[in-house]
Amino acid sequence: RRPLPLLPQQLQQQLLPQPPQQQHQQRPPRLPQVLQQLQRQQRLRRLLQQLQHQQRLRRQLPQQQQPQHQQRPPRLLQQLQHQHRLRRLLQHQQRLRRLLPQQQRPQRQQRPPRLPQLLQQRQHQQRLRRLLQQLQHQQRLRRLLLQQQQPQHQQRPPRLGRLLQQHQQQPPRLAQRQQEPPRQQRLHRPAQQQQQEHQQQRLRLLQRAVTTSTTSIILPAQCSSYTTNSDSTRRIAYTSSSACDSSLFGTTGTWVRFVSPAGTTMPTSAPSIYACGTDAPGWYNGAYPSTAGSTTTGTVCYNWAGYTCNWSNSIQITHCRTFYVFKLINTPVCNLGYCTV
Protein backbone atom coordinates (compact mmCIF):
# COMPACT_ATOMS: atom_id res chain seq x y z
CA ARG A 1 0.00 0.00 0.00
CA ARG A 2 1.09 3.54 -0.69
CA PRO A 3 1.16 6.14 2.13
CA LEU A 4 -1.34 8.94 2.09
CA PRO A 5 -0.18 12.31 0.83
CA LEU A 6 0.65 14.93 3.48
CA LEU A 7 -1.38 18.03 3.98
CA PRO A 8 0.19 21.43 3.37
CA GLN A 9 0.15 22.30 7.10
CA GLN A 10 1.87 19.08 8.00
CA LEU A 11 4.47 19.76 5.34
CA GLN A 12 5.14 23.21 6.79
CA GLN A 13 5.60 21.78 10.28
CA GLN A 14 8.08 19.24 9.02
CA LEU A 15 10.01 21.72 6.91
CA LEU A 16 10.10 24.65 9.38
CA PRO A 17 12.45 24.43 12.37
CA GLN A 18 10.52 23.99 15.61
CA PRO A 19 11.70 25.55 18.91
CA PRO A 20 10.56 22.89 21.34
CA GLN A 21 11.87 24.67 24.47
CA GLN A 22 10.08 27.95 23.79
CA GLN A 23 6.75 26.26 23.02
CA HIS A 24 7.01 24.32 26.26
CA GLN A 25 7.58 27.48 28.31
CA GLN A 26 4.72 29.45 26.71
CA ARG A 27 1.98 26.85 27.07
CA PRO A 28 -0.71 27.71 29.72
CA PRO A 29 -0.51 26.14 33.19
CA ARG A 30 -2.53 23.16 34.05
CA LEU A 31 -5.97 23.33 35.77
CA PRO A 32 -4.96 22.10 39.28
CA GLN A 33 -2.24 24.72 39.55
CA VAL A 34 -4.71 27.48 38.66
CA LEU A 35 -7.11 26.25 41.34
CA GLN A 36 -4.41 26.23 43.98
CA GLN A 37 -3.44 29.79 43.15
CA LEU A 38 -7.03 30.96 43.35
CA GLN A 39 -7.49 29.28 46.74
CA ARG A 40 -4.34 30.94 48.09
CA GLN A 41 -5.54 34.33 46.92
CA GLN A 42 -8.91 33.81 48.59
CA ARG A 43 -7.24 32.81 51.88
CA LEU A 44 -5.07 35.89 51.81
CA ARG A 45 -8.08 38.10 51.17
CA ARG A 46 -9.95 36.52 54.10
CA LEU A 47 -7.00 37.03 56.42
CA LEU A 48 -6.77 40.67 55.38
CA GLN A 49 -10.50 41.17 55.99
CA GLN A 50 -10.23 39.57 59.45
CA LEU A 51 -7.30 41.77 60.39
CA GLN A 52 -9.11 44.89 59.24
CA HIS A 53 -12.23 43.89 61.21
CA GLN A 54 -10.18 43.30 64.37
CA GLN A 55 -8.53 46.68 64.06
CA ARG A 56 -11.90 48.38 63.71
CA LEU A 57 -13.21 46.61 66.80
CA ARG A 58 -10.14 47.62 68.80
CA ARG A 59 -10.67 51.23 67.83
CA GLN A 60 -14.37 51.16 68.78
CA LEU A 61 -14.01 49.24 72.09
CA PRO A 62 -11.96 51.77 74.07
CA GLN A 63 -14.32 54.59 73.02
CA GLN A 64 -17.34 52.65 74.39
CA GLN A 65 -15.72 51.25 77.52
CA GLN A 66 -14.08 54.42 78.85
CA PRO A 67 -17.33 56.39 79.58
CA GLN A 68 -18.98 53.32 81.08
CA HIS A 69 -16.13 52.88 83.56
CA GLN A 70 -16.25 56.55 84.40
CA GLN A 71 -20.06 56.74 84.85
CA ARG A 72 -20.84 53.45 86.62
CA PRO A 73 -18.83 52.44 89.69
CA PRO A 74 -18.37 48.72 90.33
CA ARG A 75 -20.72 46.80 92.67
CA LEU A 76 -18.18 46.69 95.46
CA LEU A 77 -18.00 50.49 95.52
CA GLN A 78 -21.80 50.73 95.58
CA GLN A 79 -22.02 48.34 98.53
CA LEU A 80 -19.37 50.27 100.44
CA GLN A 81 -21.15 53.56 99.78
CA HIS A 82 -24.47 52.06 100.97
CA GLN A 83 -22.88 50.78 104.17
CA HIS A 84 -21.27 54.15 104.78
CA ARG A 85 -24.67 55.89 104.41
CA LEU A 86 -26.30 53.46 106.85
CA ARG A 87 -23.58 54.12 109.42
CA ARG A 88 -24.11 57.86 109.10
CA LEU A 89 -27.87 57.44 109.59
CA LEU A 90 -27.36 55.30 112.70
CA GLN A 91 -24.93 57.81 114.16
CA HIS A 92 -27.40 60.62 113.44
CA GLN A 93 -30.23 58.71 115.18
CA GLN A 94 -28.05 58.04 118.22
CA ARG A 95 -27.20 61.73 118.48
CA LEU A 96 -30.88 62.69 118.29
CA ARG A 97 -31.77 60.19 121.04
CA ARG A 98 -29.07 61.64 123.28
CA LEU A 99 -30.31 65.17 122.65
CA LEU A 100 -33.97 64.29 123.43
CA PRO A 101 -35.02 65.21 126.99
CA GLN A 102 -35.86 62.49 129.47
CA GLN A 103 -39.48 63.65 129.67
CA GLN A 104 -40.22 62.57 126.12
CA ARG A 105 -38.90 59.02 126.53
CA PRO A 106 -41.91 57.61 128.47
CA GLN A 107 -44.01 58.18 125.32
CA ARG A 108 -43.01 54.68 124.29
CA GLN A 109 -45.35 53.32 126.94
CA GLN A 110 -48.26 55.18 125.30
CA ARG A 111 -47.78 53.53 121.91
CA PRO A 112 -50.84 51.79 120.40
CA PRO A 113 -51.68 48.20 121.41
CA ARG A 114 -50.03 45.29 119.71
CA LEU A 115 -51.51 43.18 116.93
CA PRO A 116 -52.90 40.35 119.13
CA GLN A 117 -54.81 42.85 121.29
CA LEU A 118 -56.33 44.45 118.19
CA LEU A 119 -57.31 41.03 116.87
CA GLN A 120 -59.02 40.16 120.16
CA GLN A 121 -60.92 43.45 120.13
CA ARG A 122 -62.10 42.86 116.57
CA GLN A 123 -63.21 39.31 117.36
CA HIS A 124 -65.16 40.59 120.38
CA GLN A 125 -66.84 43.24 118.23
CA GLN A 126 -67.75 40.65 115.60
CA ARG A 127 -69.35 38.43 118.27
CA LEU A 128 -71.41 41.33 119.58
CA ARG A 129 -72.57 42.16 116.05
CA ARG A 130 -73.63 38.57 115.47
CA LEU A 131 -75.63 38.53 118.70
CA LEU A 132 -77.34 41.78 117.76
CA GLN A 133 -78.20 40.41 114.32
CA GLN A 134 -79.66 37.27 115.88
CA LEU A 135 -81.78 39.30 118.28
CA GLN A 136 -83.04 41.51 115.45
CA HIS A 137 -83.87 38.43 113.39
CA GLN A 138 -85.84 36.96 116.32
CA GLN A 139 -87.82 40.16 116.74
CA ARG A 140 -88.67 40.25 113.03
CA LEU A 141 -89.88 36.66 113.09
CA ARG A 142 -92.07 37.31 116.12
CA ARG A 143 -93.61 40.34 114.44
CA LEU A 144 -94.32 38.33 111.30
CA LEU A 145 -95.97 35.60 113.35
CA LEU A 146 -98.16 38.08 115.17
CA GLN A 147 -99.12 39.83 111.94
CA GLN A 148 -100.05 36.58 110.24
CA GLN A 149 -101.84 34.94 113.16
CA GLN A 150 -104.04 37.90 114.13
CA PRO A 151 -105.70 38.67 110.76
CA GLN A 152 -106.02 35.07 109.72
CA HIS A 153 -107.54 33.67 112.91
CA GLN A 154 -109.38 36.66 114.38
CA GLN A 155 -110.43 39.03 111.60
CA ARG A 156 -110.79 36.73 108.60
CA PRO A 157 -112.59 33.37 108.63
CA PRO A 158 -110.68 30.46 107.13
CA ARG A 159 -110.96 29.76 103.44
CA LEU A 160 -112.83 26.53 104.08
CA GLY A 161 -115.61 28.45 105.88
CA ARG A 162 -115.82 30.93 103.02
CA LEU A 163 -116.19 28.15 100.51
CA LEU A 164 -118.95 26.54 102.57
CA GLN A 165 -120.80 29.86 102.78
CA GLN A 166 -120.52 30.32 99.02
CA HIS A 167 -121.80 26.80 98.42
CA GLN A 168 -124.75 27.37 100.77
CA GLN A 169 -125.64 30.63 99.07
CA GLN A 170 -125.46 29.02 95.62
CA PRO A 171 -127.20 25.60 95.86
CA PRO A 172 -127.74 25.10 92.11
CA ARG A 173 -123.99 25.17 91.50
CA LEU A 174 -123.58 22.51 94.18
CA ALA A 175 -126.16 20.37 92.46
CA GLN A 176 -124.35 20.82 89.17
CA ARG A 177 -121.06 19.84 90.77
CA GLN A 178 -122.64 16.77 92.32
CA GLN A 179 -123.91 15.72 88.91
CA GLU A 180 -120.43 16.13 87.39
CA PRO A 181 -118.36 13.01 86.87
CA PRO A 182 -116.04 11.95 89.72
CA ARG A 183 -112.94 12.82 87.72
CA GLN A 184 -113.73 16.56 87.81
CA GLN A 185 -114.48 16.38 91.55
CA ARG A 186 -111.06 14.83 92.11
CA LEU A 187 -109.48 17.69 90.20
CA HIS A 188 -111.30 20.45 92.21
CA ARG A 189 -110.83 19.03 95.71
CA PRO A 190 -107.03 18.75 95.74
CA ALA A 191 -106.66 22.43 94.77
CA GLN A 192 -108.52 23.55 97.92
CA GLN A 193 -106.66 21.08 100.09
CA GLN A 194 -103.32 22.20 98.68
CA GLN A 195 -104.08 25.83 99.55
CA GLN A 196 -104.99 24.92 103.13
CA GLU A 197 -101.94 22.67 103.52
CA HIS A 198 -99.74 25.41 102.10
CA GLN A 199 -100.97 27.88 104.73
CA GLN A 200 -100.47 25.36 107.52
CA GLN A 201 -96.95 24.60 106.35
CA ARG A 202 -96.08 28.30 106.31
CA LEU A 203 -97.29 28.70 109.90
CA ARG A 204 -95.34 25.64 111.01
CA LEU A 205 -92.17 26.88 109.34
CA LEU A 206 -92.49 30.28 110.99
CA GLN A 207 -93.05 28.70 114.41
CA ARG A 208 -90.02 26.47 113.93
CA ALA A 209 -87.91 29.44 112.86
CA VAL A 210 -88.89 31.32 116.01
CA THR A 211 -88.16 28.35 118.27
CA THR A 212 -84.83 27.64 116.59
CA SER A 213 -83.81 31.31 116.71
CA THR A 214 -84.62 31.50 120.42
CA THR A 215 -82.64 28.33 121.07
CA SER A 216 -79.74 29.27 118.78
CA ILE A 217 -77.96 31.33 121.44
CA ILE A 218 -74.26 30.54 121.24
CA LEU A 219 -73.16 28.88 124.48
CA PRO A 220 -69.57 29.22 125.73
CA ALA A 221 -67.09 26.38 125.44
CA GLN A 222 -67.30 25.40 129.12
CA CYS A 223 -70.91 24.27 128.59
CA SER A 224 -69.62 21.38 126.47
CA SER A 225 -66.16 20.73 127.94
CA TYR A 226 -66.27 20.17 131.69
CA THR A 227 -65.66 17.47 134.31
CA THR A 228 -68.61 15.87 136.10
CA ASN A 229 -68.58 15.37 139.87
CA SER A 230 -71.06 12.92 141.43
CA ASP A 231 -69.50 12.69 144.90
CA SER A 232 -72.44 12.23 147.32
CA THR A 233 -70.27 13.25 150.31
CA ARG A 234 -70.49 16.89 149.15
CA ARG A 235 -74.16 17.19 150.06
CA ILE A 236 -75.10 19.20 153.16
CA ALA A 237 -76.60 16.17 154.89
CA TYR A 238 -73.32 14.20 154.85
CA THR A 239 -71.28 14.64 158.08
CA SER A 240 -69.18 11.47 158.41
CA SER A 241 -65.78 12.14 156.78
CA SER A 242 -63.45 15.15 156.71
CA ALA A 243 -62.18 15.80 153.16
CA CYS A 244 -60.16 18.70 151.76
CA ASP A 245 -60.18 20.52 148.38
CA SER A 246 -56.86 22.36 148.74
CA SER A 247 -55.19 20.42 145.89
CA LEU A 248 -58.08 19.05 143.80
CA PHE A 249 -58.97 21.74 141.23
CA GLY A 250 -55.64 23.51 140.64
CA THR A 251 -54.63 27.14 140.99
CA THR A 252 -55.92 28.21 137.55
CA GLY A 253 -59.31 26.54 138.02
CA THR A 254 -61.36 23.66 136.56
CA TRP A 255 -64.88 23.74 135.09
CA VAL A 256 -67.03 21.30 137.07
CA ARG A 257 -70.65 20.18 136.70
CA PHE A 258 -72.25 18.63 139.78
CA VAL A 259 -74.62 15.76 138.99
CA SER A 260 -76.72 13.41 141.10
CA PRO A 261 -76.16 12.00 143.73
CA ALA A 262 -73.87 14.96 144.51
CA GLY A 263 -76.55 17.56 143.76
CA THR A 264 -76.56 20.17 141.00
CA THR A 265 -75.77 23.56 142.62
CA MET A 266 -74.00 25.11 145.59
CA PRO A 267 -75.93 26.38 148.63
CA THR A 268 -76.45 30.14 148.97
CA SER A 269 -76.54 30.11 152.78
CA ALA A 270 -73.93 28.97 155.28
CA PRO A 271 -74.24 25.27 156.24
CA SER A 272 -73.22 24.06 159.69
CA ILE A 273 -69.61 23.12 160.39
CA TYR A 274 -68.50 19.53 159.73
CA ALA A 275 -71.14 19.28 156.97
CA CYS A 276 -70.51 18.24 153.35
CA GLY A 277 -67.81 15.76 154.40
CA THR A 278 -65.36 18.47 155.55
CA ASP A 279 -64.60 20.67 158.56
CA ALA A 280 -65.34 24.15 157.15
CA PRO A 281 -68.04 23.86 154.42
CA GLY A 282 -68.02 26.30 151.51
CA TRP A 283 -71.16 28.08 150.26
CA TYR A 284 -71.80 30.56 147.41
CA ASN A 285 -72.26 34.14 148.60
CA GLY A 286 -73.86 35.67 145.50
CA ALA A 287 -76.52 35.38 142.78
CA TYR A 288 -76.59 32.82 139.98
CA PRO A 289 -76.65 34.00 136.31
CA SER A 290 -80.21 34.22 134.96
CA THR A 291 -79.72 34.15 131.15
CA ALA A 292 -78.39 31.24 129.12
CA GLY A 293 -74.77 31.60 128.05
CA SER A 294 -73.93 34.25 130.67
CA THR A 295 -71.13 33.93 133.24
CA THR A 296 -70.84 35.62 136.64
CA THR A 297 -68.00 35.87 139.12
CA GLY A 298 -68.80 35.42 142.80
CA THR A 299 -67.34 34.55 146.20
CA VAL A 300 -67.34 31.27 148.10
CA CYS A 301 -67.25 31.63 151.90
CA TYR A 302 -66.23 28.93 154.41
CA ASN A 303 -68.04 28.68 157.76
CA TRP A 304 -65.79 28.11 160.77
CA ALA A 305 -65.45 29.20 164.42
CA GLY A 306 -68.66 31.26 164.42
CA TYR A 307 -67.72 33.20 161.28
CA THR A 308 -69.75 32.35 158.18
CA CYS A 309 -67.00 33.78 155.94
CA ASN A 310 -63.82 32.94 157.85
CA TRP A 311 -62.02 32.15 154.53
CA SER A 312 -63.06 32.99 150.99
CA ASN A 313 -62.06 32.68 147.35
CA SER A 314 -63.60 33.67 144.01
CA ILE A 315 -65.24 31.32 141.47
CA GLN A 316 -67.11 31.62 138.16
CA ILE A 317 -70.56 30.24 137.28
CA THR A 318 -71.98 29.80 133.74
CA HIS A 319 -75.64 29.29 132.88
CA CYS A 320 -75.91 26.45 130.29
CA ARG A 321 -79.74 26.51 129.82
CA THR A 322 -80.57 23.38 131.85
CA PHE A 323 -77.61 23.26 134.25
CA TYR A 324 -74.77 25.29 135.75
CA VAL A 325 -71.01 24.78 135.51
CA PHE A 326 -68.61 26.06 138.18
CA LYS A 327 -64.98 27.11 137.69
CA LEU A 328 -63.50 26.01 141.03
CA ILE A 329 -59.97 26.56 142.36
CA ASN A 330 -58.07 25.07 145.27
CA THR A 331 -59.34 26.10 148.71
CA PRO A 332 -57.15 28.49 150.74
CA VAL A 333 -56.28 25.94 153.48
CA CYS A 334 -57.22 22.49 154.68
CA ASN A 335 -59.75 21.15 155.70
CA LEU A 336 -62.10 23.21 153.52
CA GLY A 337 -64.50 21.89 150.86
CA TYR A 338 -67.22 22.94 148.40
CA CYS A 339 -70.79 21.97 149.36
CA THR A 340 -73.68 21.02 147.04
CA VAL A 341 -77.45 20.80 147.25
* CB count in 10 Å sphere of residue 229: 19
Q: Which residues contact 274 (CB under 8 A, 6 or more apart)?
A: 239, 242, 281
One domain, residues 173 and 231: no
pLDDT attached to residue 150: 60
Instruction: Convert the pLDDT of each residue in 151-194 to its tens digit.
Output: 444 444 455 455 555 555 555 444 445 454 555 444 455 666 76
One domain, residues 176 and 258: no
The verdict on residue 103 lying in a domain is: no
One domain, residues 249 and 331: yes
Instruction: Convert the pLDDT of each residue in 3-54 to its tens digit.
Output: 555 555 555 565 555 555 555 555 655 677 778 888 888 888 888 888 888 8
Average of pLDDT values for 214-223?
Answer: 80
Query: Is the confidence at residue 60, as pLDDT, over 70?
Result: yes
The verdict on residue 329 lying in a domain is: yes
Instruction: Convert the pLDDT of each residue in 141-153 to its tens digit.
Output: 888 877 776 644 4
Percent of all residues in the chain with a pLDDT value above 90, rounded to a whole number: 34
pLDDT attached to residue 154: 47
The verdict on residue 87 lying in a domain is: no
Q: How far apart are CA 139 and CA 116, in angstroms?
A: 35
Query: Band of the pLDDT at 210, cuts 50, 70, 90?
Result: low
- For residues 254 and 330, the answer to whether their CB atoms sit within 8 Å is no
How many domains, in total, are found in the chain? 2
Q: Is the pTM of this model over 0.85?
A: no
The verdict on residue 33 lying in a domain is: no
pLDDT attached to residue 135: 84
Query: Is the confidence at residue 339, as pLDDT, over 90?
Result: yes
Q: Final residue of a domain: which of 189, 215, 241?
A: 215
Q: Final residue of a domain: which of 190, 215, 240?
A: 215
- For residues 246 and 334, the answer to whether their CB atoms sit within 8 Å is yes
The verdict on residue 94 lying in a domain is: no
One domain, residues 235 and 201: no
Bridge-based pairing of strands 227-229 and 254-258 is parallel
3-state secondary structure of 309: strand
One domain, residues 138 and 204: yes
Average of pLDDT values for 192-202?
Answer: 72
Instruction: Convert the pLDDT of each residue in 91-127 to its tens digit.
Output: 888 888 777 765 455 555 555 556 777 788 888 888 8
For residue 287, the enclosing domain spans 222-338
Tally the C-alpha atoms within 13 A of residue 242's C-alpha that lie toward its C-beta. 6
One domain, residues 228 and 196: no
Q: Final residue of a domain: which of 215, 234, 250?
A: 215
The verdict on residue 48 lying in a domain is: no
The verdict on residue 183 lying in a domain is: yes
